[in-house]
Structure 1
């Protein structure tokens, strides 16, 4: 718990390759008393992902705080890609005393203060729909990091757009970002990436939802508790609901995490040793 609120860290789950890194940080923060439960919302295909599914079940057997969540019975979105089903997960998130921390399954680094600082901001600032950390490899975060002099302009200018061609689609730029973070981690200077303030995000600004904190009471208060309309989670949290309420989301300046890859970046990042380096860091996080 943090400040008397339960904390549930949850992930639209699908890839053991990267989730096996993230779970080490979540285990660390469970053992530190910051996270109460970890949920894997099973967003997998029944065939072709047998190893991914088996790994999730192994975690559920190994850890009493790890829970598997499945798509609600009787709900179908037709023949849409599985990424569209993640919005159904919020039907489980209607406890008004809980802060829900969403993490992509390819989040591969959580600074030791990231969860506490992000959740505390979510508690202290009830107005936003979502509070985001500084996400390394997120276009809008890269934009603000550049404005604050943390990312060199010489790497390519990043605009304040969710799918900016440099911040979202440029593989060599993503490699530089991860190498920059690695340098800070190894030097013990990750806090140098903190922003000098929290930044509001204008209502209607689409934002990649690789990680954010939200409140169960907001989902409980919906006409149908936990049912997002529209049901696509990124659109609901960053475009529709902020516009409907006039409440800007917030980028928290003192919480740093790392998101590994958007699909246009895959060929570049997969040709590096970065994922192995992240895995070594995660192993150290649970043995320290």
Structure 2
């Protein structure tokens, strides 16, 4: 993904892409930690996500946030002078009727539930969080070290017994069915964290944007897999222009290296020789021998890496398509989010089969914009990942330094 990171940031620097939203659906703690380190501030988190860093507060500098959440905004206050303790502030708990502060050992920060920790403050706060706005939350510290919390202009409390003489780190989360969006975060590169452990979790991203249709109706979306290891920046503007000017297509795919449907048409055009094997038309657009054969994938990658022009043209500039296809790199128009509040399930089938059939709109593949996709799940046991990543990393450095 570091290779993809380099290409996308160059595209942003060149003005081709305005924002990059990284959706964290990682399954391993080390991967989550890497994504957190590498990519911008947190914008959104689903309701089962654990605490995420939000900022710091000191007597000199309050912490301000605009939090869109209906209930159960959780703040973890981690005193800098006391590394063993944290205070959990629950704002609008119990169906947005009550707020409390608990004191707990720092080791319990990632526990799923800390309701048994000692309560040091509680107050009835009916409707403290507004569903109709981004709630303005301000944490400040007086010079005496006393913290104060204000929500939507109302002082919830100040607590002399909770001294923070050296300030504190602050973390946030939602909970109990409430997703959390930090609306003050508008950095061009920012993170969105999905619920951990979800099978087929991608519906969370589609539903996020579909619920914000008014915000994104005029946008153009590019969605790509995290293992895109080559991106033809010279062809990206043409892909975007074609996508804008052809709204009758529901989704448009790039011309993808290591994609069953694309490989079939690449061979039909004469771009892939028979010596690499036969790239049949996958039945119904799904599966096929390339999808399951790591040896075939290795040979295809090596052929592409050795090709001087890094192009595998299709028979025509645009191939209309009405069957399933892999969505390794696709584009859609923001106005079509009205159709994309996807249910949990197979998002690829919904986007390339079910919705196009329902709306009577085709999909297509655009020949003049090439990307390379490292591997599919069934290929991973035999794809020469380390060697190929090293080769694509070298190619990326050559392309971006030219």
- Taking structure 1 as the reference length, what is the TM-score of the superposition? 0.79
8 Å Cα contact 1:118/1:255 also seen in 2: yes
Structure in which a larger fraction of residues adopt helix = 1
Is 1:66 aligned to residue 214 of structure 2?
no
Deviation at 1:52, TM superposition (A): 4.0
Is 1:38 aligned to residue 20 of structure 2?
yes
- The equivalent of 1:8 in structure 2 is none
Q: 1:245 to 1:51 in 2, by over 3 A?
A: closer
Cα deviations by residue, 1:35-84 (Å, 9 ceiling, x for unpaired):
00111111023xx33244333433216x9421101238xxx9xx752xx1
- The equivalent of 1:176 in structure 2 is 299
- The equivalent of 2:355 in structure 1 is 241
Q: Counterpart of 1:141 in 2: which secondary structure?
A: helix
Structure 2: 5+ residue stretches without partners = 42-185
Q: Which runs of 4+ in 1 moved over 6 A?
A: none
Q: Distance in 2 between matches of 1:165 and 1:92?
A: 33
8 Å Cα contact 2:298/2:384 also seen in 1: no
Q: Distance in 2 between matches of 1:137 and 1:200?
A: 19
Say which of 289, 303, 319 aligns to 1:199. 319
8 Å Cα contact 2:203/2:343 also seen in 1: no
8 Å Cα contact 1:130/1:250 also seen in 2: yes
Q: 1:287 to 1:144 in 2, by over 3 A?
A: same
- The equivalent of 1:114 in structure 2 is 235
- The equivalent of 1:13 in structure 2 is none
- The equivalent of 1:57 in structure 2 is 37
Q: Distance in 2 between matches of 1:192 and 1:158?
A: 13
Is 1:86 aligned to residue 202 of structure 2?
yes
Aligned length: 251
Say which of 128, 137, 143 aligns to 2:264. 143
**Superposition pairs for residues 94-109 of structure 1, below 5 Å?**
94=213, 95-109=216-230
Q: Counterpart of 1:68 in 2: which secondary structure?
A: strand
Structure 1: 5+ residue stretches without partners = 1-18
Q: Counterpart of 2:278 in 1: which secondary structure?
A: coil
**Superposition pairs for residues 182-193 of structure 1, below 5 Å?**
182-184=305-307, 187=308, 189-191=309-311, 193=313
Is 1:250 aligned to residue 232 of structure 2?
no
- The equivalent of 1:281 in structure 2 is 395
Q: Distance in 1 between matches of 2:18 and 2:294?
A: 36
Is 1:156 aligned to residue 270 of structure 2?
no
Q: Counterpart of 1:85 in 2: which secondary structure?
A: coil
- The equivalent of 1:129 in structure 2 is 250
8 Å Cα contact 1:39/1:69 also seen in 2: yes
Deviation at 1:258, TM superposition (A): 0.2
Cα deviations by residue, 1:93-119 (Å, 9 ceiling, x for unpaired):
331111110000000000122321221
Is 1:266 aligned to residue 266 of structure 2?
no
Of the structure 1 ranges 190-199 and 31-40, higher mean CA displacement relative to structure 2 is found in 190-199
Q: Distance in 2 between matches of 1:208 and 1:192?
A: 17
- The equivalent of 1:6 in structure 2 is none
Q: Which protein is bigger by CA-based radius of gyration?
A: 2
- The equivalent of 2:346 in structure 1 is 232
- The equivalent of 2:328 in structure 1 is 210
Deviation at 1:198, TM superposition (A): 0.8
8 Å Cα contact 2:7/2:396 also seen in 1: yes
Say which of 278, 288, 312 aligns to 1:165. 288
Of the structure 1 ranges 142-151 and 110-119, higher mean CA displacement relative to structure 2 is found in 110-119
8 Å Cα contact 2:250/2:361 also seen in 1: yes
Q: Distance in 2 between matches of 1:243 and 1:26?
A: 32
